[in-house]
Amino acid sequence: MDADGLNDALGLSNDKSQNLGAYIYQPSKHGKSAGERPSKRRKVSSTVDRYEQFDRQRFVPLLNGDEIPKSVQLRHDTYRELWSKQENKIQDILEDVDAGVLTDVLSFVRDTSPQTCDGCIPTALVTVGSNVSSLSRLLSRLNGQLISTEEGSVVVLESGDAPNLKTTLKNIIRAAVTNTDGNDGYQKFLTDRAGPRLLGYDLDLLHDYVQRKGTKKLVLALRDSEAFDPGLLTDLLSLFKSWLDRIPFTVLLGISTSVELFEGRLPRSCVSLLQGKHFEVQEAGNCVDRIYETLQTNPDANLWLGRNVTSTLFENTSDYFQSPEAFSRMVKYAYMSHFFANPLAVLLANPDSTVIAQNKLCEAIRNLPSFRMFCEDLVEEGSTKQVRGMLEDDEYLIQETPKYLEANQQRMRNMFQAVRVVHVCLQYTQSAKKANVSDLSVRALSGELSESPIVEEMVATAKTLDSDKLDELLVRLGGIITNPEADAIQEDLRTLLETCSESGPLCSGYNINSTVTKTTVVQQRIRLSKGQADLSEQAVEYTNIVNRLVALLQVHLTESLINPQDLFLNEAFLFDLRNPLKETFAPRPRFAIERALATPFDYLLSSSDVTMAKVSAKQPATSILYQLYLDSGALVNVHDLWQAFYGVFETEEAGGCDDRVVMSLFYSALSELKAFGVIKNSRKKTDHLAKSAWMGL
Amino acid sequence: MKRKLSDAGDQPPVSTPKRRRTALEQSNGALNSHAPNASPPNGDASHELPPSGRGQSTPKKANGVSATPLQQSGLKTPTHKSKARGLFATPTKPKSATAATPSRVKNADRSARKKSARVLFEQDEDTAWDGSERLAEEILHGDQPDTEKAGQPLAESIEPEGEEDAPEKGVKQPKRRAGRPKGARNKRSPTPDGELPAHERYFFQNRAGPVKTSNATLNKVPLLTHEEYFEKLGQFEDPCKEEKEYLQSLHHRSFPQWAFEFDEGFNICLFGYGSKRKLTDEFAEWIYNHRLSDTANPTIVMVNGYTPGISIRSIFATIVTAVMGDNAPSKLGAQPTEVLELLQAALKSHEEPVTVLINSIDAPPLRRAANQALLARLAATPRIRLLVTADTPNFPVMWDISLRDQLNLVFHDCTTFLPFSAETDVVEEVHALLGRKGRRVGGKDGVGFVLKSLPENARNLYRLLLTELITLLDDGHQSDDEGAAEGGKPGDETGIEFRLLYQKATEEFVASSEMMFRTLLKEFHDHQMITSRMDASGMEILGVPLSRDEMEGVLEDLVLG
């Protein structure tokens, strides 16, 4: 076998690039003669010729490649437009969440000085909990604020920057200078000095810099304080203390655990150098809920996340302590998937009929499960003509589709408004556990909310509200329900309350205080009977109002809380695929590798349709060895393993197998298992391996 | 240690007449049932002292062959024992039905007993679990036929030990103490009955006690050298070639998707079984051919994380060069963070995105937490697009939440089933796994590998050394008639004197000072590429641990390369 063939067999490229650590990629000049690459490129380039202007973006034509370029472009543009809107909203929320802490920290930085702190270093302790990313957001905004007012700057330090004192100081100084002057400024700063050249870690440099800039506050932020070496931290802080008269340090410590734990790790002498204040950043969970609520219940939303996606999103957030950013990135990915892979997404762009008039797109619409359901309903109603039209006439379908799309999107919006109504009501009726919008949304999206016990209970409790609370509730609801009846109820309640403003809050007839239990003796038996207590006139009137409101609520909820899966074209405006999202953000690499090794034909679609359950020589060598490995005990004799491995080949290839070839396969398989960390050398016996991983654990 | 018993099995099998076996059983039965001081019923058991107590320590002492320290602690005097042996034992043996060579049988018998004694003496936890202790008792108590019986099953030592007990059952039955027989509870079979869930399987395989595996070693199997490995692997025809190519083509279809993900600010992580180096190469090519602007070539940096000795700084430095081109400052700074900050500053004015593809980000050189933190900071830099591949099953544990946040990865299962040919040095890894480190540089390939990484000077010196050695060998063969006898390991025997080599090296301008010369040699020493010994006159002799063929091969490569 010639050298090229051998290298091909081993997957080695002939150039030396595989042995280099890092290099700049240059396309290979010698075009590979064989293989599918050139032909593939040719195909793509021909498309480029035809639709040159559409090659500027990444989307691939769908519908088996027959999607027209304009539609591809539309999908892309709609995604951009839609997401940029949503992203702005998310940014607003994040800024809003941070705003409180930011102003607190900023005013702390401005107001404190060593003098106000009894000569100690002013210190802000910021506990972030699991919301790790919030601190970097906070710091960059703090930095921006301080620089814009020319008060000073923020130097962010991570534990990775601090291997030892010298490097740490050097990093601090460099970061401080480059933060305002850039990298060139730092170089200039080092060289353009009068007097002897100072070393990079000399705090005199920083002193110089502070004097030149007139810095009033130099905030040194340790992002992950717990990860710093306590000894180093002590040294650093005591050094800062001694320079405090010349450099106006303020230390900001980001803490993930708790202030007490952090303090416990430091020596007392070090703690006594610090004096400061404790700030708390809001937990990620609230923030995530707010983002979700804004995205989904926004009255001009076009695309919604379905039940499966929602539950996956929240599962990930709680299981992996995701930051709000990570959450919004997942939502973004969901949007991306929808527009990238769903040809129906083009409908969201309100396209003109030329775009929809693709034969394939109409076919795709007719193949939707929701279309089938819709047609069945129509047939039941007796409008067979309409069904026939939609099935046979493309133009009719094109004409009808946008109408239904718009109508059903409106129903989705109504549904989320109803979710908000329930949420608001729950705040007044539910005492113990507060259901958040995301929980309610999951129920609503699966069409279960209207019959759920939560709503029933809510309605029941709403009946017993007194007039003050009901008034508040109505005000809140007024913003959501736009119904003349609601306004009328509110009006009536107002007038009623005005007439009896001095008698305190009114109670409805459903209130527990207004029922009385009568005890009567009938035929020597005591009979308990409940009856309405005599209600005052106002109370009766109030009860009427409550009844009207409850009726309104019930009607409203049953009307709007539909099952989104039943809506025609829900595939276009509801993204509900669990899988790309789950696998992409919470992968199971170990499972993937174990599966590939234990059942290799799950991946290698065998051309010969033999489904081999047993170990065979047709499988890749590592799979064979892995399956033998799975059968063995905690300690494996290499010789026996080799014999078994050889046996697999020996039995199948009668006579024609070279044991040295098999041996080389054995070698490569063994080295791969070692690289995966499933076997290691055992010292218990010679030529034995210890098993260190169990499948499925 | 206890397994050395099986040596006894090497004896030529001696026929065991039925009569004798029954006689022994009788004797054993008698021994157990009678009072300790009862006289032996027949000659066979005669040189067996009456068991006292548990009957363990006595036989050890009685067996004169094993010089145990317990010797004096017992009751019987040595003289008594030797007399017993002399009087009864010796005469009985020749009389026994065994034919052929009595002395050999006796020796085997004795060695088995010697070992048995050692087993009993050096009891540890492990032995309590398997049958070896009982076996040892057996050997000591019983006579020659018993030994044979023990030896026979041991010859088939690949079988699980549980089976070995079977033929001896008859003998041992009376000796067993009450209760569950030893080891019965922990009788091992590697695969448990029925389908156990994974965690149960774990506990099943990890229960206390020794694991039963055979004693076979790889001593008789010749291991592969680098050369043979590559040669033989080249001859192998992959039965799944088409399927693997199909799999690869499926991954190809995702390229536009990955590019879209890049555009939207995500970084990508590819995982799954198989080398993904080819895939990243092709992706780089794809990016190159599908660039969005016609003016500039896309900046793509490839990193091979598996390269030994790769540093984060060098990765960053390469990216800086890729971004800044000729404008890159000549001195980048020694700390990776400095280079990273320079890069971040440079990227602020850079329009085009920079794509960085890292193969095997979980390879040992990059695995350290500090390295991963730096890479995460690289990933978080705007306009950097990072695609990493990970090969190990548990790579996500490298990243905590803050790193994950910075990395901002989307994961794709890219199982390719391709061999890790560039990622691992297969032969070396396997030999390390088998504890055969000594072979590290053994063979031409290893030396060749090392030499490739050494500077010119060092290669010249090694060439010089090899030339000298081969010349010496040639001379030796011509003049010396005994050359054939020494032919086995010529490399080890022949050597060149240190001074002489130094002189030659200075002549050839390889080394200008002895200091330098020694530095070069030290490098060879570190890689076990040379041997050094003192000869009788105290001169240092340098040699090469290679066979002559290999030396010539290396020399050829050196001269040609």
How confident is the model over A17-34, as pLDDT tens digits?
677 788 888 876 544 433
Q: Do the Cβ atoms of B519 and B533 come closer than 8 Å? A: no
Number of H helices, E strands in chain B: 26, 8
Chain B residues with CB-CB distance to A163 below 8 A: 370
Query: Which of B205, B338, B410 is the closest to A584 by Cβ?
Result: B410
Query: Which of A163, A605, A674 is the closest to B246 by Cβ?
Result: A605
Q: B141 CA to chain A: closest CA distance, Å?
A: 29
B213–A604: do the CB atoms touch at under 8 Å? no
Per-residue pLDDT reduced to its tens digit, A186-219: 878 877 777 777 788 888 888 888 888 888 888 9
Q: Which residues of chain B have pLDDT under 70?
A: 1-194, 208-211, 292-296, 435-444, 476-493
Query: Which of A11, A340, A636 is the closest to B275 by Cβ?
Result: A11
Q: Which residue has the higher pLDDT, B89 or A9?
A: A9
How many residues can be counted in chain A?
A: 697
Chain B residues with CB-CB distance to A694 below 8 A: 198-199, 201-202, 205
Grouping H, G, I as helix, E, B as strand and the rest as coil, residue A681 is strand
pLDDT at position A424 over 90:
no
Q: What angle do CA A682, A684, A686 make, to 5 degrees?
A: 75
Q: Band the pLDDT of A88: cuts 50, 70, 90.
A: very high
pLDDT of residue B32: 44
pLDDT of residue A84: 92
Chain A residues with CB-CB distance to B238 below 8 A: 9, 620
B393–A677: do the CB atoms touch at under 8 Å? yes
Q: Do the Cβ atoms of A635 and A643 come closer than 8 Å? A: no
Rounded to an integer, what distance in angstroms lies between the CA atom of residue A206 and that of residue A272? 24
Round the average pLDDT of chain A to a whole number and report it: 79
Size of interface A-B (CB pairs under 8 A): 327
Rounded to an integer, what distance in angstroms lies between the CA atom of residue A429 and that of residue A462? 6
Query: Which of B217, B247, B284 is the closest to A687 by Cβ?
Result: B217
A592–B413: do the CB atoms touch at under 8 Å? yes
For residue B21, give Cα distances in angstroms to B9, B28, B97, B137, B252: 18, 10, 12, 17, 74
A687–B218: do the CB atoms touch at under 8 Å? yes
Q: Which residue has the higher pLDDT, B21 or A653?
A: A653
- What is the dotted CATH code of the domain comprising B444-560? 1.10.10
Q: Band the pLDDT of A66: cuts 50, 70, 90.
A: confident
B233–A321: do the CB atoms touch at under 8 Å? no
A633–B395: do the CB atoms touch at under 8 Å? no
Query: Which of B272, B307, B411 is the closest to A20 by Cβ?
Result: B307
pLDDT of residue A101: 85
B249–A634: do the CB atoms touch at under 8 Å? no
Query: Which of A332, A639, A667 is the closest to B224 by Cβ?
Result: A667
Chain A residues with CB-CB distance to B233 below 8 A: 6, 9-10, 661, 664-665, 668
Q: A217 CA to chain B: closest CA distance, Å?
A: 23
Looking at the structure, give the CATH architecture of the domain made up of residues B241-413.
3-Layer(aba) Sandwich (3.40)
Residue spans in chain A of domains classed CATH 1.10.10: 589-691
Query: Which of A24, A332, A696 is the closest to B318 by Cβ?
Result: A24
Residue B415, amino acid: T
Q: B239 CA to chain A: closest CA distance, Å?
A: 6
pLDDT at position A163 over 60:
yes
B284–A25: do the CB atoms touch at under 8 Å? yes
Q: A639 CA to chain B: closest CA distance, Å?
A: 5
Rounded to an integer, what distance in angstroms lies between the CA atom of residue A567 and that of residue A408? 6
Q: Do the Cβ atoms of A644 and A628 come closer than 8 Å? A: yes
Interface test with B, best of A2, A18, A80, A283 (most B CBs within 10 A): A18
Residue in A573, A492, A536, A575 with CA at minimum distance from that of residue A308: A575
pLDDT at position A39 over 50:
no
Q: A686 CA to chain B: closest CA distance, Å?
A: 7
pLDDT of residue B90: 41
Beta bridge mates, A532? A515
Q: Do the Cβ atoms of A531 and A518 come closer than 8 Å? A: yes
DSSP assignment of B333-376: -SSHHHHHHHHHHHHHT--S-EEEEEE-TTSGGG-SHHHHHHHH
Nearby residues of B469 by Cβ (< 8 Å), 6 or more positions away: B491, B494, B495, B496, B543, B544, B551
Neighbours of B237 (CB within 10 A): 7
B391–A171: do the CB atoms touch at under 8 Å? no
Chain B CA closest to residue A186: B342
Same topology, domains B241-413 and B444-560? Answer is no
Share of chain A above pLDDT 70, in %: 84
Residue A41, amino acid: R
Q: Band the pLDDT of A571: cuts 50, 70, 90.
A: confident
Chain A residues with CB-CB distance to B288 below 8 A: 25, 27
Residue spans in chain A of domains classed CATH 3.40.50.300: 112-282
Min mean pLDDT across A502-506, A677-681, B235-239, B475-479 is at: B475-479
Read off the DSSP letter of residue A533: P
Q: B63 CA to chain A: closest CA distance, Å?
A: 29
pLDDT of residue B410: 93
Q: B213 CA to chain A: closest CA distance, Å?
A: 6
- pTM across the whole model: 0.70
Q: What is the average pLDDT across A589-611?
A: 78
A217: left (phi over 0), alpha (psi -120 to 50) or beta: beta
- What is the dotted CATH code of the domain comprising A589-691? 1.10.10
Chain A residues with CB-CB distance to B229 below 8 A: 664, 667
Min mean pLDDT across A557-566, A636-645, B85-94, B129-138 is at: B85-94
Domain extent listing, chain B: 2-198, 241-413, 444-560
Q: B243 CA to chain A: closest CA distance, Å?
A: 5
pLDDT of residue B412: 93
pLDDT of residue B469: 86
Q: What is the average pLDDT across A55-70?
A: 75
Chain B CA closest to residue A597: B273
Rounded to an integer, what distance in angstroms lies between the CA atom of residue A163 and that of residue A655? 61
A9–B197: do the CB atoms touch at under 8 Å? no
Grouping H, G, I as helix, E, B as strand and the rest as coil, residue B471 is helix
Q: Band the pLDDT of A568: cuts 50, 70, 90.
A: confident
B282–A665: do the CB atoms touch at under 8 Å? no
Q: B205 CA to chain A: closest CA distance, Å?
A: 6
The CATH H-level superfamily of A112-282 is P-loop containing nucleotide triphosphate hydrolases (3.40.50.300)
Q: A45 CA to chain B: closest CA distance, Å?
A: 9
B271–A40: do the CB atoms touch at under 8 Å? no
pLDDT of residue A432: 60
Chain A residues with CB-CB distance to B221 below 8 A: 639, 642, 663
Lay out the sheet containing B540-543: strands in order across.
B496-497, B540-543, B531-534
Q: Band the pLDDT of A398: cuts 50, 70, 90.
A: confident
Chain B residues with CB-CB distance to A21 below 8 A: 303-304, 307, 309-311, 314-315
Q: Band the pLDDT of A635: cuts 50, 70, 90.
A: confident
pLDDT of residue B453: 82
pLDDT of residue A128: 82
Query: Which of B239, B249, B415 is the closest to A592 by Cβ?
Result: B415
Tokens of B325: 């081109």
Chain A residues with CB-CB distance to B309 below 8 A: 21
B218–A638: do the CB atoms touch at under 8 Å? yes
A634–B284: do the CB atoms touch at under 8 Å? no
Angle between helices A324-341 and B255-263 (to 10 degrees): 140
Phi, psi of A654 (to 5 degrees): -60, 115
Q: B481 CA to chain A: closest CA distance, Å?
A: 37
Q: A297 CA to chain B: closest CA distance, Å?
A: 25
Chain B residues with CB-CB distance to A682 below 8 A: none
Q: B68 CA to chain A: closest CA distance, Å?
A: 26
Chain B CA closest to residue A160: B370
pLDDT of residue B279: 92
B234–A329: do the CB atoms touch at under 8 Å? no
Chain B CA closest to residue A157: B337
Which ipTM did the prediction report? 0.83
A18–B405: do the CB atoms touch at under 8 Å? no
pLDDT of residue B180: 46
Q: Band the pLDDT of A606: cuts 50, 70, 90.
A: low
Chain A CA closest to residue B389: A589
